[in-house]
Amino acid sequence: PQLHYPPHFMKGSIIQLSNGELKRVEDLQTDDFVQSAEISSDLKIDSSTVVKIEFNPDHSTAILGFVVGEHKVQVTVEATLEHPFFVFGQGWSSCEPDRSLHRYGLDCQKLSVGDVCISLTHKDVQ
Amino acid sequence: VPVFPWHALVPFLTNTGPP
């Protein structure tokens, strides 16, 4: 598979919040995402609970199962082992923190079943 | 120096509205 390593996870990357404030990716906090979504006119935050992590070492990926948002939608995604997800109150977390550190220089916690991640959806357009 | 928007860092896992 064609694996994708987004540059914005590289330690030191500059991230702009909704209020215009600039922060380094490694310094982001839960509130930064929550407040940015509140200011945003069309995006809102969903809580996505990790319910499954299936390692796929041949591809350097993992199959992740999430239960997403108030409607508990079941979603399955394939992500690289080093891909950082932002866990409420915990920060950046991945399936293989050592690989995240090596790839991005970004300190990550170990992502585990039961962790609640920040994801986005579009606000209901009235 | 590139500046990335905050919403690029977290995934969109569902589309809008209830199923």
Q: What is the pLDDT of residues A29-60, one digit of tens each?
A: 999 999 999 999 899 999 999 999 999 989 99
pLDDT value at A125 more than 70? no
Q: Give the residues of chain B that fall short of pLDDT 50.
A: 18-19
CB distance B7–A36 less than 8 Å? yes
Q: Which residues in A lie closer than 8 A to residue B11 (C-beta atoms)? A: 48, 77, 85, 119-120
Q: Is A87:A116 a contact under the CB 8 Å cutoff?
A: yes
The ipTM of this complex is 0.90
Backbone dihedral angles phi then psi of residue A37, each to the nearest 5 degrees: -70, -35
CA distance A121 to chain B (A): 6
Query: What pLDDT sits at residue A2?
Result: 77
